[in-house]
Structure 1
Amino acid sequence: MDEQAKKTALRGISYGLYVIGTKLGEDVNAFTGNWVTQTSFSPPLVAIAAKKGTASSDGIHDSGVFSVNVLESGQKDLAFAFFKPISRVGNKFGDVEFYTQTTGSPILKDALSWFECKVVHEYDQGDHVVYIGEVVDAGVHRSGSPMTLQETGLFYGG
């Protein structure tokens, strides 16, 4: 296989950039992810992936819930803030305010929109775990265009 052709072809897949949250016992956690897609209308199911062996993946596995915060185009700094561990103090991750709803997973006040899921299937796949969640709550903070990975200058795939 031509490795460069494979990377170029896989980088043609369109991705959004999201902040995915979950519960860690009585605490919460969040990370930036881009593997998010709706897999069913009825019931409303969403697939996400989280890197194996991380606090986030373990939290989703243990709690059975997660939130997806849809970022708005131009919120690159917000997305990048969750590329590394960020300390929680009260209802903030650093300077980023959040609240909780149905599942107790964090919902960012600055997100464009959000939804919360209850895990219904889990698949151990390569270096990630794929979680299928049923949407149990959702909300919209404002209208706008969702952020894409392309606008950040980052590439994923290969």
Structure 2
Amino acid sequence: MPVDSTTFRTVLGQWPSGVCVVTTVGAHGAHGMTASSFSSVSLDPPLISVCLGNHLPSRTLLESAGKFAISFLGKDQAHIGRRFAGQNPEVTDRFAGLDWTMTPNGCPVLSDAVAWLDCRVAHTYPGGDHTIFVGEVTEAALPRVTAPLLFHSRTWGQVADPLPSSIQLSVDVADDDPLAQELRGRGARVRGDHTEFTVAADGTGLPSADWMAAAKLTGGCVIGYVSDAFDPAREAEVFATVDALAALGCDEIGLAEGVPASPLQVRRVLQDAKVRARPAALRVRLAGDHSLALVNALVAMKSGVTHFDTVAPGSGSAGLPLGDLLHLSRQLEVAGPIEPDLAHLRE
């Protein structure tokens, strides 16, 4: 006996998906709708599919036009998803006020989409009360790097990263300090073990490719830090600098906290910087002299960061204390270097 439609829809709602806007053109101009029933089909040739309800105007228009485009929405574009899903009935022109780009096939795509695909209809299949359109991808682009918008259980959301299984530490401690050798033996890294440089949020101080090539020859890890990386007024500059450091070939890219940042701002920056830094590992150098220091460390872990800079007891630095971060990781059951007996090493 077939399952009833209400139960079926509720069950399907437990499957999270990305969100896209499907656009096509007709005699009266552009038309678009929000869809989550999108899927890749083939890499060679590049094929994708989208399912449209047979009762929708978009379905008839798309079949007549023989072409369509897909705009993938970012985490900050839920309002666009709602608009093209018809959840804002007061909006009479869904395309108004948004920035659009025309594809080679003549379909509009969002200029600030996470990505877009331009397609021609290759196959059409009946699918119950929907029609399955298979599109051959003729053009593709990634206009903007940001986390995707998700849809789950009829709710718009964002990627929520789980806690990492382990963290890696670099500790600011003098190389001749007995603690340095103890930390190395327990899996941590001492700050002098790698080559590092710092650039301003706007990229000032970026080294040359020749300098980077010479640094790589030493065989150690090369880390490029961005100073004051969580300043909300410089977010765009920080992202551009992260892109530049990734292109330069840094092994790791560090974001240093200057003025104490809010957990919300730390999350905003790390969520996108993590994507931009790849394949380099992203690390953070958080301030430790304010009440939200450990909250920001937790937010960093939840944002997928596994590399942290800390300061050793008695170092005089204002960074995140080694003991505090180790205590937090133990409470969260995140594996890290075992805390050494700091007391006997300071006698």
**TM-score bracket relative to the smaller structure:** 0.7 to 0.9
Name 2:145's counterpart in structure 1. 143
The one-letter amino acid of 2:129's match is: D
Name 2:253's counterpart in structure 1. none
The one-letter amino acid of 1:51's match is: G
Which of the numbers 93, 96, 101 marks the counterpart of 1:87?
A: 93
> Deviation at 1:9?
3.9
1:72 aligns with 2:74: yes
> Residues of 2 paired with 1:16 and 1:71: CA distance?
8
Seen in structure 2, the aligned counterparts of structure 1 residues 120 and 51 have a Cα distance that, compared at 3 Å, is same
Q: Which runs of 5+ in 2 are unaligned?
A: 157-347
Identity within the alignment, % = 25
> Which deviations, in whole Å up to 9, do the C-alpha atoms of 1:114-143 show, x marking residues without a partner?
011111111121221110001000111111
Tell me the C-alpha RMSD between the 2 structures: 2.3
> Deviation at 1:26?
6.1
Name 2:113's counterpart in structure 1. 111
Are the counterparts in 2 of residues 76 and 152 from structure 1 also a CA contact under 8 Å? no
> Residues of 2 paired with 1:36 and 1:50: CA distance?
10
SS in 1 for 2:112: coil
The one-letter amino acid of 2:155's match is: G
Seen in structure 2, the aligned counterparts of structure 1 residues 100 and 26 have a Cα distance that, compared at 3 Å, is farther
The one-letter amino acid of 2:45's match is: P
Matches within 5 A, 1:33-72: 33-72=35-74
Greater strand percent: which structure?
Answer: 1
> Deviation at 1:145?
1.5
> Which deviations, in whole Å up to 9, do the C-alpha atoms of 1:39-64 show, x marking residues without a partner?
11100100101111322111110011
> Deviation at 1:101?
1.5
Q: Which runs of 5+ in 1 are unaligned?
A: none
> Deviation at 1:20?
0.6
SS in 1 for 2:63: helix
Are the counterparts in 1 of residues 49 and 134 from structure 2 also a CA contact under 8 Å? yes
The one-letter amino acid of 2:67's match is: V
Q: TM-score, normalised by structure 2?
A: 0.40
Seen in structure 2, the aligned counterparts of structure 1 residues 86 and 124 have a Cα distance that, compared at 3 Å, is farther
> Deviation at 1:97?
2.2
Q: How many residues align structurally?
A: 150
> Residues of 1 paired with 2:33 and 2:50: CA distance?
12
Higher alpha-carbon deviation: 122-131 or 23-32:
23-32
Greater helix percent: which structure?
Answer: 2
Higher relative contact order (CA 8 A, sep 6+): 1
Name 1:125's counterpart in structure 2. 127
